[in-house]
Amino acid sequence: MEELIRKIKVIYKDKDLLVIEKPAGVSVHPPVGDRKDDFYLTDWLVQEFPETAVVGDEPSLRPGLVHRLDKDTSGVMVIARNQDSFEALKNIFKNRLAEKTYWAIVCGTPKEKTGVISMPIGRLVKNPLKRGVAIGQIRIRGEREAFTEYKVLRGGEKYSLLELRPKTGRMHQLRVHLKAIGYPVACDKIYGGTKVCCPPDASRQLLHAKSLSFSFPAGRKLYFEADPPEDFAKSMNLC
Alpha-carbon distance 84 to 109, whole Å?
44
- Residue of 107 and 218 predicted with greater confidence: 107
- Cβ atoms of 96 and 146 within 8 Å: the answer is no
pLDDT of residue 62: 95
Tens digits of residue pLDDT in 13-61: 999 999 999 999 999 998 876 777 678 999 999 999 999 999 999 999 9
The total of other beta-carbon atoms located within 10 Å of residue 180's CB is: 20
How does DSSP classify residue 34? -
DSSP labels, 136-195: TT--EEEEE--EEEEEEEEE-SSEEEEEEEESS--TTHHHHHHHHTT-PBTT-HHHH-TT
Give the residue with greater pLDDT, 4 vs 160: 160
Q: What pLDDT was estimated at residue 184? A: 98
pLDDT-derived band at 86, boundaries 50, 70, 90: very high
| DSSP states of 74-85 | EEEEEEESSHHH
Q: Supply the pTM of this predicted model.
A: 0.94
Question: Which residues are the active-site residues?
Answer: 70
Please write the tens of the pLDDT for every residue from 125-143: 999 989 999 988 889 999 9
The whole-chain average pLDDT of the chain stands at 94
Residues with Cβ within 8 Å of residue 126, at least 6 apart in sequence = 139
Distance set, CA 76 to CA 49, 56, 103, 110, 228 (Å) = 17, 19, 12, 26, 10
176: left (phi over 0), alpha (psi -120 to 50) or beta: alpha
What pLDDT does residue 78 have?
98
Go through the domains of the chain in sequence order and give each one's CATH number: 1-95 (3.30.2350.10), 99-210+228-239 (3.30.2350.10)
Contact 3, 210 (CB under 8 A): no
Question: Measuring CA to CA, how many Å separate 192 from each of 88, 142, 158, 208, 231?
Answer: 36, 22, 15, 17, 19
Task: Quote the strand ranges of 29-158, DSSP E.
Answer: 74-80, 99-107, 114-118, 121-124, 131-132, 140-144, 147-155
Quickly state the pLDDT bin for 217 (edges 50, 70, 90): confident
pLDDT tens track for 182-198: 999 999 999 999 999 99
What are the φ/ψ torsions at residue 192 (nearest 5 degrees)?
Answer: -90, -15
Quick: pLDDT tens for 138-158. 899 999 999 999 999 999 889
| Neighbouring C-beta atoms of residue 156, cutoff 10 Å | 14
